[in-house]
Amino acid sequence: MMMEKTKKSKLTVPQTLVLGVLGSILIGAILLKLPMSNCNGKSISVIDTLFTATSAVCVTGLNTIVPAQQFTTFGKVVLMCLIEVGGIGFMSFIALILMIMKRKISFSERILIKESLNQNNEKGIIKLIKKVFIYIGIIEIIGAIILSIRFIPEYGAKTGIFYSIFHSISAVCNAGFDIIGNSSLIKYQYDGLVSITIMFLIIIGGLGYTVWSDLVDTIKKIFKSKIKITKACSELSTHTKIVLTTTLILIISGAMFTFFLEKDNVQIMKSDNVAQKILKSSFYSVTLRTAGFETIDSTELTTATKFISLIYMFIGGSSGSTAGGVKTTTFAIIILMVISYLKGQENTVVYKRTIPQKVLKRAIVIVSVSIFIVIASIMGLAITEDLRAEQQLPSSEMIEREIEFLDIFYEVFSAFGTVGLTTGITTKLSKLGKVIIMLLMFIGRLGPITISYAVLKKHNTQKNINYPESDLLVG
């Protein structure tokens, strides 16, 4: 009996991951609450501390405070560490510590690492972990070196180097946190060096660890003359091809939408030349899906741009990356499946490979659950903010909506996609509203499927029973 109870009480892999991320957030919140983390000992409220820690660990970038003004150097270092842990994954850091200690990583630990990195199997997972840390370290160092060219002359050697490292890590992890001021990177909207560097770091971080490994292996083969450059594409996996193609299409289309919808917007880019407009549009398109850095003020965007932005934020980055959203591969698979069905094709084929039914089902479930979560959150946020407005105004007065409905949409999609862009309503939210956004960031980072499995807990004992089919009318 005791043995059965022990087995029943054992945590599942998704539950362990959820508790691990929650633990990281709580530790981060405690450290950020310390007097030594806050300038002049002015500590922020518990809800705002938790919000900041959640945003950092979930690599979102939404803020109820201004990190540059609120935190001391120690607090900023804590924030940077939380971003790194959140971007790479706490299980990856645990695996690194175990490897440094030369302790053998058990099978159950390999499964946890596999799930945290969103991989299909645990085969070669330790080798991938080593690659992840090497690649991400190299990318962040290169990014910091390039950014230091601008930041050291402007802020001095000590501060310039720290700013370069912080923003390089924040960009690669798609976090969107900045410690320069209260207007993100708008100060550098015409600075090609900063803007392009941040863009490339965001894109690389959003591609995913599997894609990094695949690309590096292919480049090595080219240099070793094992394959020709013209045949390099055929060496890439189907996953990598889908990720690269979808990412390129989303970046270009996002930039084009922004350019044509905002080119005559006086507050955004009307007075700029074509090159400056392209730079701003491209940056917004790149940061829109995962990162949260700004070189244009989102509050001044046209209604059309804000609405289209929701789609890009919902899609997010790629699987097994530092980005959020339903992922580029999920979006691509759904589109390909719809096209195949409309053409009357039984199978969904891409790059001469058939996509398995279980993958198609998973993609549909991810999108369906995500839509449900987003809709429920929009309703919840609309209710909490209206209730607060009612409480603040006398009953004789009409309720003036301080927060527009489209702004709620924008905030919810941004939080779920762990994007971090806002139309300026984050600081205006009620306590319950902030809790809803925290939950969204948490779900967006771990993924709706992981959260669902953690809550519902899968039962492997259930037998598969085949019942007779029933022909239903749909559409």
What pLDDT does residue 458 have? 55
Q: 394 vs 95, which has greater pLDDT?
A: 95
Contact 366, 374 (CB under 8 A): no
Confidence of residue 49 (pLDDT cuts 50, 70, 90): very high
- Above 50 in pLDDT, residue 284? yes
Q: 101 vs 353, which has greater pLDDT?
A: 353
What pLDDT does residue 5 have? 44
What pLDDT does residue 405 have? 86
pLDDT digits (tens, 9 = 90+) for 211-253: 888 888 888 888 877 777 777 787 888 889 999 999 999 999 9
CA 298 to each of CA 91, 404, 421, 444: distance values in angstroms, whole numbers, following the listed order: 35, 14, 7, 21
What pLDDT does residue 448 have? 82
- Above 90 in pLDDT, residue 96? no
Averaged over 39-54, what is the pLDDT?
89
Confidence of residue 433 (pLDDT cuts 50, 70, 90): very high
> Cα separation of 288 and 314, whole Å?
10
Contact 195, 189 (CB under 8 A): yes
Tokens of 306: 């804000």
Averaged over 302-327, what is the pLDDT?
90
Averaged over 52-59, what is the pLDDT?
93
What pLDDT does residue 110 have? 73
Q: Name the strand (E) or helix (H) holding 195.
A: helix 192-207
Instruction: Give residue 389's identity as a one-letter amino acid code.
Output: A
- Above 60 in pLDDT, residue 426? yes
> Cα separation of 342 and 330, whole Å?
19
Confidence of residue 457 (pLDDT cuts 50, 70, 90): low
Query: Around Cβ 467, how many Cβ atoms within 10 Å?
Result: 5
Work out the percent of the chain whose per-residue pLDDT is above 90. Answer: 53
Q: 13-22, 153-162, 280-289, 372-381: lowest mean pLDDT where?
A: 13-22
Work out the percent of the chain whose per-residue pLDDT is above 70. Answer: 90
Confidence of residue 463 (pLDDT cuts 50, 70, 90): low
Instruction: Give residue 127's identity as a one-letter amino acid code.
Output: K
CA 312 to each of CA 162, 279, 284, 360: distance values in angstroms, whole numbers, following the listed order: 31, 18, 11, 21
Contact 296, 147 (CB under 8 A): no
What pLDDT does residue 234 have? 79
Q: 38: which strand partners? A: 71
What pLDDT does residue 202 have? 94
Confidence of residue 3 (pLDDT cuts 50, 70, 90): very low
User: CA triplet 89, 137, 332: central angle to 5 degrees?
Assistant: 55
What pLDDT does residue 121 have? 67
> Cα separation of 457 and 181, whole Å?
44
CA 47 to each of CA 33, 54, 102, 379: distance values in angstroms, whole numbers, following the listed order: 11, 10, 40, 21
What three-state secondary structure class fits 457? coil
Q: 22-31, 316-325, 454-463: lowest mean pLDDT where?
A: 454-463
What pLDDT does residue 126 have? 78
What three-state secondary structure class fits 350? strand
Q: Which has the closest alpha carbon to 249: 338, 174, 318?
A: 318
In sequence order, which residues have a C-beta less than 8 Å from that of residue 428 and are 6 or more positions away? 402, 403
pLDDT digits (tens, 9 = 90+) for 382-424: 999 888 777 766 554 444 556 788 999 999 999 999 998 998 8
Contact 138, 255 (CB under 8 A): no
Phi/psi region, residue 406 (left: phi>0; alpha: psi -120 to 50; beta: rest), is alpha
What pLDDT does residue 8 have? 47
By CB atoms closer than 10 A (0-12, 13-18, 19+), residue 49 is: buried
What pLDDT does residue 462 have? 52
- Above 80 in pLDDT, residue 97? no
CA 436 to each of CA 56, 372, 397, 441: distance values in angstroms, whole numbers, following the listed order: 16, 14, 28, 9
> Cα separation of 125 and 105, whole Å?
11
Averaged over 325-342, what is the pLDDT?
92
**Domain regions of the chain by residue span:** 11-328, 329-456
As a 3-state breakdown, the chain gives helix, strand, coil percent values, each rounded to 5, of: 70, 0, 30
Averaged over 374-384, what is the pLDDT?
93
Per the prediction, the chain carries an average pLDDT of: 86
Top mean-pLDDT range of 108-112, 279-283, 315-319: 279-283
First-to-final CA distance of the chain: 52
